[in-house]
Amino acid sequence: MRTDVDHLPAAKQRELERIVEIIFDEFGHATENATGRRKGARILKVILFGSYARGDWVDAPASANQYKSDYDILVIVSQKELTDRAVYWAKAEERLIRAYTIEKTLQTPVNFIVHSLHEVNDGLAHGRVFFMEVAKDGIAIYDADGSELATPKPKTPDEALKAAREYFEEWMPQAASAQKGFLFFLSQHEHRDAAFMLHQATERLYQGLMLTLTNYTPYNHNIAFLRSLAEGLDRRLHGIWPETSRSERAMFQKLKEAYTKARYSKHYRISEEELAWLGDRVEELGRVAFQVCTDKIAELESATRK
């Protein structure tokens, strides 16, 4: 695996150094009182993947209202228990968001996922496209011992097609079911329930798309994070969520927050007009996701005939 980031501008290289520093700092705080097996908690690798690793990133200024690539980071830890996001990684995530949105010490947004070494190597052994692409294109910006990941074992064309079809046939109906729930609650003027079901439709569309295309999705309910990963897979997904105004950005934020706040916070408010706008966007997301997935399945079908 590569370890150099010489293809990136110096400012980007410094940002990545700062990101690694924040990740280690907060992980250290989260594990400082660990006992038993967790006393040996370690970060083994921090890997940059996605557009900034490949070299095809987009760095439009915030004022341009255009798509802007995120840093995509995979943190590999020594134990499965250490992947618990709420326990070990929430503070790191908060600091990285604050550094970009408030402090402006980072000029690029950051998304990171955490897996144990066993999970990564198991994904490679089972031919999961996501992990294979990380192993192929990723750059280790921190590596504890220089050890190599497991040798990827790609699925056969028939196996890849079977997996993609199964994920598509499982997740797309689930997304459609959630959208039906949204429309029902909207018709009953139950706005909070409608918002929650629309969030579920969005989450399921992104997860189903990623599973169909890469046999992987992170265990995460943050639709902004899922959106970022999905948009990195196919440019047709860009622009589904307009961000030309503060109100458009605020409506997506309300949808993002609906997973918890629509259920548990008495202060959560969302209007029928906002729900109608968001519903149109999710319908468009479903249309594009369906097309992207069916194109992928057609591509895999073609590969089985060669």
Distance CA 191, CA 279 (A): 12
The reply to whether 188 and 86 lie within a common domain is: no
The reply to whether 189 and 284 lie within a common domain is: yes
The reply to whether 15 and 133 lie within a common domain is: yes
Does the residue 151 lie in any domain? no
Q: Of 143, 172, 188, which residue constitutes the final position of a domain?
A: 143
Does the residue 148 lie in any domain? no
The reply to whether 275 and 195 lie within a common domain is: yes
Q: How confident is the model at residue 64 (pLDDT cuts 50, 70, 90)?
A: very low
Does the residue 5 lie in any domain? no
Looking at residue 77, its pLDDT comes to: 97
Q: How confident is the model at residue 67 (pLDDT cuts 50, 70, 90)?
A: low
**Signed CA dihedral, 263, 269, 270, 271: sign only:** positive
pLDDT at 66 over 90: no
The reply to whether 71 and 167 lie within a common domain is: no
pLDDT at 11 over 80: yes
Does the residue 121 lie in any domain? yes
Q: What is the CATH number of the domain that holds 224?
A: 1.20.120.330
Q: Of 143, 169, 198, which residue constitutes the final position of a domain?
A: 143
pLDDT at 34 over 80: no
- Contact (CB, 8 A) for 281 and 240: yes
Q: What does the pLDDT look like over 170-190, one tens digit per residue?
A: 999 999 999 999 999 999 999
The reply to whether 134 and 228 lie within a common domain is: no
In the chain, the percentage of residues whose pLDDT exceeds 90 is 82
User: Tokens 């070990």, residue?
Assistant: 88
Does the residue 67 lie in any domain? yes
Does the residue 150 lie in any domain? no
Range of the domain at 244: 157-304
The reply to whether 293 and 237 lie within a common domain is: yes
Question: What are the helix (H) ranges across 50-126?
Answer: 51-54, 90-101, 117-125
Which string of b and e fits 224-254 if b means at least 16 CB within 10 Å? bbbbbbbbbbbeebeebbeeeeeeeeebbeb
Q: What does the pLDDT look like over 78-126, one tens digit per residue?
A: 999 999 998 999 999 999 999 998 999 999 999 999 999 999 999 999 9
Does the residue 113 lie in any domain? yes
Looking at residue 220, its pLDDT comes to: 86
Token pair, residue 300, equals 């895999």
**Nearest Cα to 51, choosing from 105, 116, 109?**
109
The reply to whether 165 and 113 lie within a common domain is: no
The reply to whether 119 and 249 lie within a common domain is: no
Q: What does the pLDDT look like over 206-221, one tens digit per residue?
A: 999 999 999 999 988 9
Does the residue 2 lie in any domain? no
Q: Of 143, 173, 201, which residue constitutes the final position of a domain?
A: 143
The reply to whether 19 and 105 lie within a common domain is: yes
pLDDT at 160 over 60: yes
Q: How confident is the model at residue 40 (pLDDT cuts 50, 70, 90)?
A: confident
The reply to whether 127 and 188 lie within a common domain is: no
Q: What is the CATH number of the domain that holds 125?
A: 3.30.460
Looking at residue 61, its pLDDT comes to: 63
- Contact (CB, 8 A) for 114 and 75: yes
Q: What does the pLDDT look like over 113-135, one tens digit per residue?
A: 999 999 999 999 999 999 999 99
Domain count, the chain: 2
Q: What does the pLDDT look like over 229-280, one tens digit per residue?
A: 999 899 999 999 998 888 999 999 999 999 999 999 999 999 999 999 999 9
Question: Which strand (E) or helix (H) includes residue 291?
Answer: helix 272-304
The reply to whether 176 and 285 lie within a common domain is: yes
